[in-house]
Amino acid sequence: MLRSAVEQAERDEVELPFVEQLKAMGWEHIHGPDLDADERAYDSDVLLTKRLSAALRRLNRLPGNGSSWMSHGEAEQAVDTLRRAARTVATESLLKANGAATALLLRGTPMSGPGDQDYLVQYLDWEWEGLSDTEILQRNRFLVVDQYRVLRADGKHSVLDLVLFVNGIPVAVVECKNPHSRNAIGDAVRDLRRYAGDPLGDDGRTSGSRTGSEIVGGVPELFASAQLLIAASGKTAALGTISSSEEHYAAWRSVEPDYADERALRAELEATKVLRGDAGLTGQHKLIAATLRPRNLLNIIRHYVFELPVKTKTGEPPVTVKAICRHQQYRAVEKIVRKLRTGRKRGESGAEDDERGGVIWHTQGSGKSLTMSFLARRLHMSRDPELNRFTLLVVTDRVQLQRQLSAAVRVSGSTIRIAHSQPDVEGMLRRAGKPGGRAVIFAMIQKYLGRVPGLVGETDGDERDFEAELRRAQDRIAAGEDPQEVAAPTPDEATTEEVRRRFTECSTETRVLVLVDEAHRSHTSVLHACLRDSVPNAARIGFTGTPIMKGKLTDTGRIFGLEPGNTFLDSYRMEEAEKDKVVVPVRYEGRTGRAVIEAKEGMDATFEDLIAAVREEDRDKARKGTRPTSRDVAESFPMIRAKAVDMLAHYVRGPLTGGFKAQVAAVSRRAAVHYRDALREARADLLARVRREFGPEAREELRRKKPEEYTQDEVLLLRAWHFQEVLRRMDFVPVISEGDERKSGLWREWTDPRSQEEHVERFLEPFPELPPDNPWVVEHPPATDPQPGGAIGLNPWSDELPGAPVEKPPIAFLIVKSMLLTGFDAPIEQVLYLDRPIQDAELLQAVARVNRPARLKREGRVVDYYGVLDNLAVTLAAYRGDPPVLDGLRSLASEVPGMAGAAHQLRRFLQKLGTGGLDGPGRMAHTMLALHDPHERAEYDRLLGAFLDAMERVLPHEAALELLPHARRWTQLQQRLRTHYRDEPGGIYSMRGYGRKVRALIADHLVLPEIAQAIAPVSILDPDFDEIVGRMDMRESAAEQVQALRYHLQERTEGDDRPVYRTLSEELQKVLDDFEGRWADIKRELGPLIERARQAEQADPALSDLTPMERRLFAKVCDQLTAHPAFDLPDQEVLRTLTVNLSCLISAHVSSAAWAQQETSLDDLQVGIWTLLKENRIRPREGGLRQLTDLSNSLAGYAQHHAAAFRSEGRGH
C-alpha cells in the first residue's frame, strides 16, 4: 500500500521505534496483515481468542497437582463471558462496558469446574512481585500488533496503529501521529476518542466534514477492555484513558524508581540498539519504559487505574471518569512501597526507630489526594501479604481536608473508617495491623489534644488579629530570634510530655502506616509523640505541598526520616508541575500600599472615614480619645468600598472575560461581610455607568478606535457591557466561621455549615452561559439592574436564610477571613484578592488557591491590597535563603519580557520566509503560499500559540496592548492558512484554543468586511466562491481552487459511496502531477473538474422522489454490485424498487425495541436482507449463494452504522 509522506513519517519516526522498544522489553510483535486468520473467531472480533483460550487453560490450574482444570469448551465459555461484557457497548455507555470488562480482568469470574465445584477463572496472572522479567513473560503473553484491522459495523475496516494485548486481551491502544504536525498529541487524542466511539465534543470532524486527515470510524468494543490509551508523536507521548479529553492526557517525565536517572535508561536503550548514535532520549522513550514494561503494566492496570466520580453541578449526580496516575504519583507510591519493603522496623537489626518512612513533598495542586488513593489501592490490592494487611491512619487537621481526602481514597476500594473522637480512633487502632484490621482510618488527632503551643487552632482562627500577630513576629525577628522558630514555634518538652499522656498504647503491630497530611506544620512533633505511644511500631510518611523550612529539617528527619543528603523520599517542585501543566503559574500584582497609619495626614484622613457615620458629639469624643488601629482602618466601610470598586473593575477586565471566579481574603469576619455589600454596590454603580455612559453612540465611537488605543476605563465599560448578563446575575458570598454573635443570629447565612457547603458547590460550577468572544456582535435584551441590597454601615446584618428561589444566582466571589485559604481545590478560581496580613507557610498555601488548572486558564493571579507582597523578605522571613520558594512568587511585570521574546521569535520565523513581511498588497497571500509545507505551518502555529498565551497572561497590561497590531496580523495569517489548507476541523477557522481575553480583542478584526472578503469560501458550492477566487492573482486563485476541490472530494468520499467522487479525485491528482508548478495550466484544467463536482451534487431526476438516505443506499447497492464480478447490474427501475424495499425493511428493524436489546437482531436483519435480495432476483451468476450472503452481511453492517439516520427517515414513511 502506498503511503503519503505524513503517513510514512508516522510509521518511520513514531510507530516502528515504539515497537522496537517494546520488543527490547520482551514483547512479541506481529504486523497486523500477517496475523493468522485463526487468531480470532471472526474479522470483527476484538479478542485474540486462540491466545486467550490457551492462556486460560495455562493459568487456571488445580491446587496441589498444578494441572489445568479447564477443557477447551470451558475456556471458550470464559472467553465468551469477556466478549459479552465488551459487547454491552451496543446498549450501554463505553464506561459501563469498560467497568464490566475491567472487573473480570481484576477479579475473574466464577465457573463450575470438575466435580461440580466452583472455581474462579483468572484472565491474567497478577503474581509479578518478586519475579524476574523472564518469569513474568512466561506467565502472561505480551503482544503488540501494528496496523491492526477490525471490521466495523458498516462493513468497513478501522486500522489502529498499535494495539497491545496481554493473553489476547487488548489492554492498551496507541495512536501515532507525525511528530512535525501542528498538534500531534491533540490529533492523536481525538482519533483515539473517535475509535472508541466517543468523540470529543469539540472534535468538529464528522463523516460530512473533513479536515484533510483521515476520519476514523468507531470500534468501541475494542476499547471495552482497554486500560491505557497513549497518544504518541515520537518526540513525546501522553497517557490517558477512555474518558480522558486532551487536557487530561499527561506526559510521563519520570524514570524513577525503575532507573536511577535518565542516563541509566539511555544506557539500556543503547545496549538494546533502540537508541543509536547521537539520538536523544525522548518523552516517548520514558513513557514506554515506565508504563509498558510488562511488570509495570500489570502494576498500573491493577493499582493505578480506577473510576472516579466528579461533581459537575449542584443537585445533579457526579459524572464518573476513568482516572490513571500521573508520573509523580506513581513514582511517589512506588518509592513508599519500596521503603516499606526494605526499611528496617523499629528494633530490627539494632534500629532505634522505624526506618520505613519519609517525606513526600509535592507542590500544592499536584494531586496529593489521589496519590494517597493510589497508595491505599497499591497496598490493599497487592497479592503480597506483607503489603495487603496494612492499616493506614491518615491524620489531617481540618474537617474540609478530611472530607476531601476521604472522598478521594474511597474510590480506591479500601474500607474507609472516620474517627469522630479520641475514643473512636483508639478503638479503631486497637485492630490496626491485625487480621480484619485492613482499612484506611481518618482522624483529626490534633483536635483531640486541646490547646498546644504551635498548634493551628489553639485559638479560634477566625478571631485572630492578624495585624497584631505580624507586628509581634516582626518585633521578635528584629530582636534577634530565629524567623523559622517565630513562624513555627516548637512545643517545649514539658508540653509534649503532658500531651502525649492523653493517648494510650493501641497497637504494637508493624503493619501500620501513618500518613500525616500537611507535615510541614510545627505541631507535627507533638503529634509524633502521641502516635509513637499509640502505635509505636508504625511506619510514618509525611505529605506536604508547602516547603519545609530548612531549620526544621532536623525535626522532620527525626519524625519521618530523610534520605541521604537530608533529601525527601520524593519531591515534585513547582517548576516541574508548571511544565507538566499540573498547575498554572501564579503571578502577583500590587494595587495599593498597606493601610497602616504612619503619616499624620494619612492617619487623620482614615480616622475621619471611620467616624463619618457617627453622631457629631461622638465624633468629637472619639477625636480626643484612642486613635484607630490598623484593623479598624481595614474594617472601615469607606476603605472597603474603595477597594471593592477597584477589585470589581480588575475582575471585569480580566478573570470574568475567561469565565473564571475570585476569592477575597479579608482582615476579619466583619470585613468579609462588609465586602459583600461593597461589591454589590460597586456592581450596581458599574451597571448604572454602562447604561448612562455606554449607549449606542459611545459604543460605535469606541469601535472605530483600535483596541491598543483603549483607556483602562474604556476597557472596563466595554467588558461590563459585554458581560452584563453575567454581571447582573452574579453573587458575592462570605464564608466565615461562627463567633460570639451566634446567639443573636447575626451572619447566620454565612456561618451555617449547610449553607456554606451549598455556596461552595455553586462557586465551583461554571457560569451558566458566557457571551460570544466578539463583543460587537452581542445583543442584550432590556433588563433591570440589581439593587445593591444588604445593610451598609459599620455593623451590617446578614440577609435572612433563603427560602427556595426558582433560580439561584451564580456565585462569582467567595469572601473569607481564614476559611478556604488552605486545602481548597477550585480550578475555576483564577484570582485571589488579598486584603489582610498573611505570612510564611499560610501565605504560600493561600497563593496556591489559584494555581489549579482549567481549560483556557493560563495563569493564576494574586492581587495585593495590603502590601503583603511588597517585601517578601518580611512576609516570607522564615524562608530566607530558599530561592525555589521565592521563585514561585513572581510579579505580573515579570511576564512582559517573555511576551516580548515570543513576539521576537515569531518575527524572525516570518523573516526567514523571505516574503517581505505581511504589510503591503499581496504580501499576506504570498506568505500564505510560502507556508505550503505542513511542518512549517505547524511551527508557525506553535510560535503564535506561545505568543498569544503569553499575551493572555499579561493582559490587560498596557505592554500587551502595544503588541495588539502584530497579534491581529499574525492571527489573520493563521486564519488564511487554516482556511486555505483546510487544517482546521470543518475547514472553518476557530480561536477556541486561545484565551478569551485575547479572543475578545482580536475576534472583531477577523470578521471585518475587508478581511472576510479576501478569504475564499471553504466550499466550491458557495455562490460567492467563483467571484472571490476570480479577484485573486493567478497563483493564489489556482491554489485556492486546488484546495477547495480536494477538500470537497475528500468530504464526499467519506459520506457518499458513488464512484464519481473517486474518479474526480483521481483526475485531480493527475492534473497536479502533470502540470506541477504551472499554475495557469492547473487553473484551466480545474474548471471542468469543479463543474462536474457541482453537477454530481444535483439529484438524478429518476431518483428525485427518494429520501436522502434512500439515495445513499441506492449508491451503496450499485457500488457493491458493480464491484463484485459474480453479479450483473439490474436496470435502474429494479434497483430503485429494491432500494425502497430495503430502506423500509432496515427502518423497521432498527426502530424496534429488539434492536437495542438482543444480540440476534443484527442476524435477523441480515436474513431479512438476504431474503429480499433473492426475491428481487439479485443472485450471483455462479458459485452458489455465498456471494449473496456476503452482500447481505455488508448491507446489514451499513444499516447498523447508519441506524440513527434510517430510524429518523423511517418515522416519516
Residue 648 one-letter amino acid:
L
738 and 867: one domain? yes
Residues 1200-1213: tens digit of each pLDDT: 777 777 876 664 44
Q: Which residue has the higher pLDDT, 530 or 508?
A: 508
Same domain, 367 and 298: no
Inside any domain, residue 481? no
Whether residue 477 contacts residue 486, with contact meaning beta carbons closer than 8 Å, is answered with: yes
Torsion sign (Cα): 110, 113, 119, 121:
negative
CA dihedral 211, 214, 219, 222 (to 10 degrees): -120
Task: Clarify whether residues 934 and 1075 are in a common domain.
Answer: no
Determine the Cα–Cα distance for residues 837 and 819; give it in Å rounded to an integer.
Answer: 15
Domain end (from 1063, 1096, 1129): 1096
Q: Are residues 1110 and 988 in the same domain?
A: no
C-alpha distances (whole Å) from 659 to each of 441, 649, 956 are 39, 15, 15
Structure confidence at residue 1080 as a pLDDT band (50, 70, 90): confident
Is 813 a member of any domain? yes
Angstrom distance (rounded) from CA 568 to CA 520:
12
Lowest-pLDDT choice from 473-477, 767-771, 810-814: 473-477
Q: Which of 973, 991, 1012 is the last residue of a domain?
A: 1012
Instruction: Give tens-digit pLDDT for 114-141.
Output: 878 889 999 999 998 889 999 999 999 9
| Average of per-residue pLDDT values in the chain | 80
How far is 1159 from 1145, CA to CA, in rounded Å?
18
Do 794 and 844 fall within a single domain? yes
Query: In the 8-state DSSP scheme, what is residue 1100?
Result: P
Same domain, 536 and 565: yes
| Lowest-confidence segment of 113-117, 444-448, 608-612, 1088-1092 by average pLDDT | 608-612
Residue 731 lies in a domain: yes
Q: Is residue 94 part of a domain?
A: no
**Would the pLDDT of 495 be above 70?**
no
Q: Which CATH number is 278's domain given?
A: 3.90.1570
Are residue 820 and residue 903 in the same domain, yes or no? no
1037/188: higher pLDDT: 188
Query: What is the DSSP-derived secondary structure letter of residue 647?
Result: H
Return d(Cα 578, Cα 363) in angstroms, integer: 10
Q: Which of 555, 583, 611 is the last residue of a domain?
A: 583
Whether residue 810 is found in the same domain as residue 913 = no
Per-residue pLDDT band at 462 (split at 50, 70, 90): low
Residue 457: pLDDT over 50: no
Residues 6+ apart with CB under 8 A from 789: 677, 680, 799
Asked if residue 501 and residue 357 are part of one domain, the reply reads: yes
Residue 89 lies in a domain: no
- The H-or-E segment that residue 617 falls in is helix 616-624
pLDDT at 1078: 77
Residue 353: name the closest of 515, 204, 54, 562 by CA: 562
**How many domains, in total, are found in the chain?**
6
Residue 341 backbone phi and psi in degrees, to 5: -75, -40
Residues 580-625 have pLDDT tens digits of: 989 888 888 887 643 333 333 443 444 454 444 445 555 554 454 5
> Per-residue pLDDT tens for 233-272?
999 999 999 999 998 999 999 999 999 999 999 999 999 9
Domain that holds residue 690: 631-888
Let me know if residue 1201 belongs to a domain. yes
Contact 721, 694 (CB under 8 A): yes
Residues 1110-1133: tens digit of each pLDDT: 877 887 787 777 767 777 777 778
CA 1204 to chain centre: 31
Task: Check residue 307 and give left, alpha or beta (phi > 0: left; psi -120 to 50: alpha).
Answer: beta
Q: How far apart are CA 115 and CA 34, in angstroms?
A: 42
pLDDT > 70 in the chain, percent: 76
Question: Has residue 1009 got a pLDDT over 50?
Answer: no
> How would residue 798 be classed by pLDDT, with cut points 50, 70 and 90?
very low
Question: What pLDDT score does 209 carry?
Answer: 36
Instruction: Name the residue with cell 497530611.
Output: 517
**Mean pLDDT, range 894-903, rounded to an integer:** 88
Instruction: Give the confidence band of 1012 by pLDDT, cuts at 50, 70, 90.
Output: very low
Same-domain pairing of 429 and 364: yes
Q: C-alpha distances in angstroms, 937 versus 182, 332, 1014, 1190?
A: 7, 40, 20, 45
Mean pLDDT (whole number) for 781-791 = 64
Cα–Cα distances in angstroms (integers) from residue 1008 to residues 383, 401, 704, 998, 1012, in the given order: 66, 51, 12, 17, 6
* Residue recorded with cell 500590587: 590
In this structure, what are the phi and psi dihedrals at residue 305, rounded to the nearest 5 degrees? -130, 125
Residues 770 and 817 in one domain: yes
β 358-362/811-816 pair status = unpaired
Check: CB of residue 172 under 8 Å from CB of residue 292.
Answer: yes
Return d(Cα 1212, Cα 1143) in angstroms, integer. Answer: 12
Q: Is residue 1001 domain-resident?
A: yes
**Residues 1033, 1007 share a domain:** no
How confident is residue 1057, by pLDDT bands cut at 50, 70 and 90? low
Buried b (16+ CB within 10 A) or exposed e, 250-265: bbbbbbbbbbeeeeeb
Residues near 887 by Cβ (< 8 Å), separated by ≥ 6?
A: 574, 575
Q: Are 535 and 506 in contact (CB under 8 A)?
A: yes
Residue 1065: pLDDT over 60: yes
Higher pLDDT, 462 or 925: 925
Give per-residue pLDDT as tens, 627-653: 556 666 667 788 899 899 999 999 999
The answer to whether the CB of 606 falls within 8 A of the CB of 640 is no
Residue 463 confidence (pLDDT): 65
Confidence class of residue 1139 from pLDDT cuts 50, 70 and 90?
confident
Do the domain assignments include residue 476?
Answer: no
Model pTM?
0.79
pLDDT value at position 461? 47
What pLDDT shows up at residue 611? Answer: 47
Average pLDDT over residues 151-159: 79
C-alpha cell at 749: 447565612
Q: Is the per-residue pLDDT at 275 higher than 70?
A: yes
Task: Provide the CATH number for the domain around residue 355.
Answer: 3.40.50.300
Q: Which residues are bridge partners to 145 per DSSP?
A: 30, 163
- Per-residue pLDDT band for 800 (boundaries 50, 70, 90) equals very low
SS3 167: coil
Q: Read off the pLDDT of each residue in 659-679 and give the average, rounded to a whole number.
A: 94
Q: How many CB atoms lie within 10 A of CB 380?
A: 21
What does the pLDDT look like over 902-923, one tens digit per residue?
999 998 898 888 776 777 666 7
